Chain A
Amino acid sequence: EVQLVESGGGLIQPGGSLRLSCAASGFIVSSTYMTWVRQAPGKGLEWLSVLFGGGDTHYADSVKGRFTISRDNSKNTLYLQMNSLRAEDTAIYYCANVIGKAGKTALGLYSSFYYIDVWGRGTTVTVSS
């Protein structure tokens, strides 16, 4: 069974650091695209970061320079190191698997598209003094 289990959330003071973990089972994190998405209380979904199978990364502007995505292949685990935390980082953090495929556009050209097919249950981060 494909499963993602996040951990590491909690209450942290502004300016502090936290590392989230995401243990994967049923697939290999190094062979797919893994991502973090968060949801502030009562709000929508905000994509944060992606780690491609080859090791490249991409970040949302809101977390660039503060958050770092990484993985441990031996543990089949994804991480999100979060530094300089702010009150607005308070959210549920989801780890998820991204599917990247190629398809034909309306113009008959092929291009890639990306969607999330597996989500973890989430871990809650609260940034408050």
Chain B
Amino acid sequence: DTQMTQSPSSVSASVGDRVIITCRASQDINNWLAWYQQKPGKAPQLLISPTPNLQNGFPSRFSGSESGTDFTLTISNLQPEDSATYFCQQANDFPLTFGGGTKVEI
């Protein structure tokens, strides 16, 4: 199974800041990676899949990139509504595996 290592586990930033979240896959996943946003008490929402394709409804300040087995979610110009937990998920094969999550606090 592919292990996904996500960092940091939490980050506190100010409005307007840029936040970078990384995920590293334990093996080649053919660059197939998804990102989800989860707000408190809610189900996760698909944010990017596959990298770097941003889903409809999310602003362009969210972006995803990849380099080998390392993946990055960047939130530019952080806004209050971006406060959430973000998860990566390897999309290459079953079992689907998720990163541990990154809680973004404003």
Contact = CB atoms under 8 A, between A and B. Distances in A.
Given A44-B99, A116-B46, A119-B45, A111 B92 contact: yes
A60 B96 CA distance: 9
A119 B43 contact: yes
Nearest to A114: B91
B93 to A, nearest CB: 8
Contacts of B93: 114
A24 to B, nearest CB: 15
Nearest to B91: A113
Nearest to B97: A47
B72 interface: no
A7 to B, nearest CB: 15
Contacts of A79: none
Contact of B43 (A47, A61, A120): A120
B30 interface: yes
B98 A111 contact: no
Q: Is the interface of A mostly helix, strand, loop or mixed?
A: strand
14 contacts: A44-B87, A45-B87, A45-B89, A45-B101, A47-B94, A47-B96, A61-B95, A105-B30, A113-B32, A113-B92, A114-B92, A119-B44, A121-B42, A122-B43
Nearest to A45: B98
Interface of B: 1, 30-32, 34, 36, 42-46, 49-50, 87, 89, 91-101
A16 B28 CA distance: 39
Contacts of B91: 113-115
A8 interface: no
Contacts of A99: 49
A99 B98 CA distance: 16
Contact of B95 (A60, A113, A119, A121): A60
B30 A117 contact: no
B50 A111 contact: no
Given A115-B91, A116-B89, A44 B100 contact: yes
Given A44-B101, A111-B92, 7 more contacts: A44-B87, A45-B87, A47-B96, A94-B44, A113-B91, A117-B49, A122-B43
